[in-house]
Amino acid sequence: MNSDSLHLIKLAVGIENAGHLATVQERRLAESLAAGHGARLFHVTRNVPRRAAELLDGGSIYWVIKGRIRVRQRLLDIENDTDDEGRRYCRLMLDPERVATRPWPHRAIQGWRYLPAETAPPDLARLEGDGRLPPELAAELRDLGLL
């Protein structure tokens, strides 16, 4: 991830936890393959990001689950399209790899918002990889929502 990247933040409506997000997305990937479209994972949104070039320069979508940012996925592309009634929308094409982040409190929002890199939560693996916390303690703090 580019440390200067621009990101998106989005509420994961109806998602209970990071495992549930993975289950839903894996099902969508399987449906895409079964329909003959290849392994295409995307999120549809009405509003097309005007800062698409910045987002595609290493940006991710950060998912808010149950009031906390918990997971991010790299944005691969943004496809613009029009529905049968002539309304514009876009597909945010996502990397299937989900990266756990430090649980970061965030209020509910409608749609999506831009998230500057300097305010994005760090990846959980990066925090645990510094060797300062024993893995058992890190897991317990994570379960409590403190890490």
pLDDT in tens, 67-97: 999 999 999 999 999 999 999 999 999 999 9
Alpha-carbon distance of 76 to 73, in angstroms, equals 9
Q: How much of the chain exceeds pLDDT 90, in percent?
A: 72
Model confidence at 124, in pLDDT bands (50, 70, 90)? confident
Name the residue among 53, 56, 65 with its Cα closest to residue 22: 65
Alpha-carbon distance of 122 to 7, in angstroms, equals 13
What's the mean per-residue pLDDT of the chain? 88
Query: What is the value of pTM for the model shown?
Result: 0.83
The fold of the 6-121 domain, in CATH, is 2.30.130
Helix (H) or strand (E) holding 79: strand 68-82
State the pLDDT at residue 11: 96
Q: Is 117 helix (H, G, I), strand (E, B) or coil?
A: helix
* Residues ≥6 apart with Cβ < 8 Å to 126: none
